[in-house]
Amino acid sequence: MKKVLKISLGVLFLLLLVGTFVFLWNKTRPEKEVFAIVKPHIDTLEKRAVATGKVEPRDEVLIKPQISGIISEIYKEAGELVQQGEVIAKVKVIPEMATLNSAESRVNVAKISLEQTQRDYDRVKELFDSGVISKEEFEQSETALSRAEEEMQNAKDNLEIVQNGIASRNAEMSNTQIRSTITGMILDVPVKVGNSVIQSNTFNDGTTIATVADLNDMIFRGKVDETEVGRLKEQMPVKLTIGALQDISLDATLEYIAPKGTEENGVVMFEIKAATKVPADIFIRAGYSANADIVIERREGVLTIPESSVTFEGNKTYVNLLTSDSTAVEQTFERKEVTLGMSDGVNIEIKEGLTGDESLKGEKITTPR
């Protein structure tokens, strides 16, 4: 038994010794680097700037009342289409007591004045019919009666306006009916029946009854940082990617670049706007977040290689040409100077130095021992 144990320990010792020797031998072997082989190819390069923002209507119109009161009826909801002049809501006027008393008093005074003028007119007419007075005096009395009647009508209209917000003879121009000023879609109706509203005047903006916009005329509004804004110009093509619409991109045209930037988190940002072309079969909701790719520079049909294959030394750039057979175990390379052009961050243009038939040293792929 002891003999078997000794033999087992000896074999184990020999295995450990051999394993250690093999490990140390592998560690001392020189590395043999193997690189991927790439070939130049004809491609199209684009240099882009990216902006984040949202798509929104070019113009959003706030519909406000021209009279103060309480919302009595709402005829439209958010999402409905409206035509210019179509009624959205109706306001019920709540008159002030002082104004109401003044209007009623004006009616009473006008009534008294009209009755007196009417009696004077009747007397003058009898005298005129009898030939006692001249036609001029009769016409003066007739004119006074017409003025009194008009004043009476104005007083009644004023009382109706105070009570109802509209005079009966101008019902088609009622301020109590809140109408859309443009044709478009209602984006929001922030009021409900029973809410008090304030008219728009020189002292305040008034209560918003509804927000209406034309969703066929959309723009992208976003921001780019100061490192990229200097390369942007108006009328540049833009590609919009909307997060809510998968696999759909929209064409747009850059139409505005802010002349002044604003600082956000230590970075100066400039606002941009791009007119968006919305296909008829796609519905874009106002406020969709979007990313804009702005094509700053584009080169078509140029000879390109991966930028990782280029070596930079001072003001010169080089590539490594494969000089050995592609099937050979040992790879050998020869350095050659080239002239570079535009880069998109992945591939770079070769202006001079390569014909397109060469094989170039790429990234290292394995390091066997």
Q: What is the CATH number of the domain that holds 122?
A: 1.10.287.470
pLDDT tens digits for 173-208?
566 788 899 999 999 999 999 888 888 777 788 889
Is residue 65 located within the same domain as residue 186?
yes
The model's pTM is 0.60
Q: Find the domain containing 336 and state its range.
A: 34-43+300-366
Q: If pLDDT is split at 50, 70 and 90, which confidence band does 55 have?
A: very high
Average pLDDT over residues 8-12: 69
Q: What is the CATH number of the domain that holds 331?
A: 2.40.420.20
Return the higher-pLDDT residue of 15 and 181: 181
pLDDT of 156 strictly over 70? yes
Question: Of the candidates 240, 269, 298, which is a domain's last residue?
Answer: 298
Q: If pLDDT is split at 50, 70 and 90, which confidence band does 254 have?
A: very high
- Both tokens of 339, joined, read 């002239």
pLDDT of 82 strictly over 90? yes
What's the Cα-to-Cα distance from 20 to each of 4, 13, 24, 30, 147, rounded to whole Å? 24, 11, 6, 18, 125
CB atoms closer than 10 angstroms to residue 80: 14
Confidence (pLDDT) at 122: 84
Contact 220, 273 (CB under 8 A): yes
Count, residues in the chain: 369
Confidence (pLDDT) at 212: 94
Taking all residues of the chain, what is their mean pLDDT, rounded to a whole number? Answer: 81
Average pLDDT over residues 334-362: 83
Confidence (pLDDT) at 100: 63
Is residue 317 located within the same domain as residue 268?
no
Is residue 315 located within the same domain as residue 256?
no
Confidence (pLDDT) at 50: 85
pLDDT of 107 strictly over 80? no
Q: If pLDDT is split at 50, 70 and 90, which confidence band does 141 have?
A: confident
Interstrand relation of 218-225 and 249-257 (parallel, antiparallel or unpaired):
unpaired
Is residue 180 located within the same domain as residue 87?
yes
pLDDT of 312 strictly over 80? yes
Is residue 220 located within the same domain as residue 286?
yes
pLDDT of 310 strictly over 80? yes
The secondary structure element, H or E, covering residue 2 is helix 2-28
Is residue 258 located within the same domain as residue 219?
yes
Q: What is the CATH number of the domain that holds 259?
A: 2.40.30.170
Is residue 238 located within the same domain as residue 308?
no
Is residue 219 located within the same domain as residue 294?
yes
What type of residue sits at position 221? R
366 HSE (CA, 13 A, CB side): 7
* Of the ranges 10-24, 59-73, 346-360, the best mean pLDDT one: 59-73
Q: Is position 220 within any domain?
A: yes
Average pLDDT over residues 345-367: 79
Number of domains comprising the chain: 4
Q: Is position 201 within any domain?
A: yes
Confidence (pLDDT) at 220: 93
Q: Is position 268 within any domain?
A: yes
Confidence (pLDDT) at 272: 92
Confidence (pLDDT) at 275: 92
241: which strand partners? Answer: 249, 291
What type of residue sits at position 330? E
pLDDT of 211 strictly over 90? yes
Q: Is position 340 within any domain?
A: yes
Average pLDDT over residues 155-161: 73
- DSSP-derived 3-state class of residue 36: strand
- Could you tell me what percent of the chain has a pLDDT over 90? 16
Confidence (pLDDT) at 274: 92
pLDDT tens digits for 221-251?
999 988 888 888 888 888 898 888 877 888 8
Contacts 24+ apart (CB under 8 A), 134-142: none
Is residue 123 located within the same domain as residue 68?
no
Q: Is position 171 within any domain?
A: no
Is residue 280 located within the same domain as residue 317?
no
Which residue matches tokens 């004006």?
A: 106
pLDDT of 284 strictly over 90? no
Q: Is position 28 within any domain?
A: no
Is residue 195 located within the same domain as residue 159?
no
Average pLDDT over residues 279-283: 85
- Both tokens of 308, joined, read 């990782």
Question: Of the candidates 298, 318, 345, which is a domain's last residue?
Answer: 298
Confidence (pLDDT) at 29: 57
Q: Is position 265 within any domain?
A: yes
Confidence (pLDDT) at 9: 67
Average pLDDT over residues 57-75: 88
CB atoms closer than 10 angstroms to residue 153: 14
Confidence (pLDDT) at 22: 63
Q: Is position 5 within any domain?
A: no
Confidence (pLDDT) at 169: 59
Q: What is the CATH number of the domain that holds 206?
A: 2.40.50.100
Q: If pLDDT is split at 50, 70 and 90, which confidence band does 219 have?
A: very high
Question: Of the candidates 281, 298, 315, which is a domain's last residue?
Answer: 298
Is residue 84 located within the same domain as residue 159?
no
- Could you tell me what percent of the chain has a pLDDT over 70? 85
